[in-house]
């Protein structure tokens, strides 16, 4: 144990480490892998969405949306469906307020499964299709801001 390790709590030493960007799987949305920016400055998590269409299913509000899961590639489109959890006013990094749909979906980050709230917004102009904020991270990880992809590339769904 190094001198600096002696100052860490047992909990901190056992938490998985994330880099500033990680691969994520969203199994309930049929997204096998999407590159996400880990953003401790953001409270909520955001997922790229376009062609957003609300609808009713069994007397409940649902939403259909499309996503381009890969950066700089609009040829791949995945159609997603999710129950609407809420609609909220969210401020983006530039301070612009936008009313967004909020869904809750399972997120797989390494071997950690999280039921995460996501706001839906068009992130075409953003480098990352997904942003993971503090609420999703919620004391589950340590962040190494100089590292990338600490949790590796997601396993194919058949091995999950």
Q: What tokens appear for 155 in the block?
A: 């396993």
pTM of the model: 0.85
pLDDT of residue 3: 46
Residue 1 has pLDDT above 50, yes or no: no
Residue 11 maps to a domain? no
pLDDT of residue 160: 44
**Boundaries of domain holding 78:** 21-143
Residue 66 maps to a domain? yes
Q: What CATH number should be reported for the domain holding residue 57? A: 2.40.70.10
pLDDT of residue 38: 97
Split into its structural domains, the chain has a count of 1
CA distance 146 to 157: 29
Would you give the distance in Å from CA 31 to the centre of its chain? Answer: 11
Convert 36-75 to b/e letters by CB count within 10 Å (16 or more is b): bbbbeebebbbbbbeeeeeeeeeeeeebebebbbeeeeee
**pLDDT average, residue stretch 34-53:** 94
CA-closest candidate to residue 121, choices 144, 148, 103: 103
């Amino acid at each position: 144990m190094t001198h600096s390790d002696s100052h860490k709590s047992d909990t901190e030493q056992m938490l998985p480490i994330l880099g500033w960007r990680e691969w994520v799987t969203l199994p309930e949305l049929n997204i096998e892998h999407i590159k996400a920016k880990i953003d401790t400055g953001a409270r909520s998590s955001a997922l790229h969405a376009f062609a957003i269409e609300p609808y009713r299913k069994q007397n409940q509000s649902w939403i259909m949306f499309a996503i381009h899961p890969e950066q700089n590639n609009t040829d791949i489109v995945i159609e997603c469906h999710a129950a609407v959890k809420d609609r909220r006013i969210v401020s983006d990094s530039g301070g612009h307020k936008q009313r967004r749909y909020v869904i809750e979906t399972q997120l797989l980050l390494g071997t950690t499964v999280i039921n995460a709230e996501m706001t839906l917004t068009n992130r075409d102009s953003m480098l990352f299709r997904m942003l993971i904020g503090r609420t999703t991270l919620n004391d589950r990880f340590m962040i190494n801001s100089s590292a990338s992809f600490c949790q590796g590339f997601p396993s194919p769904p058949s091995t999950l």
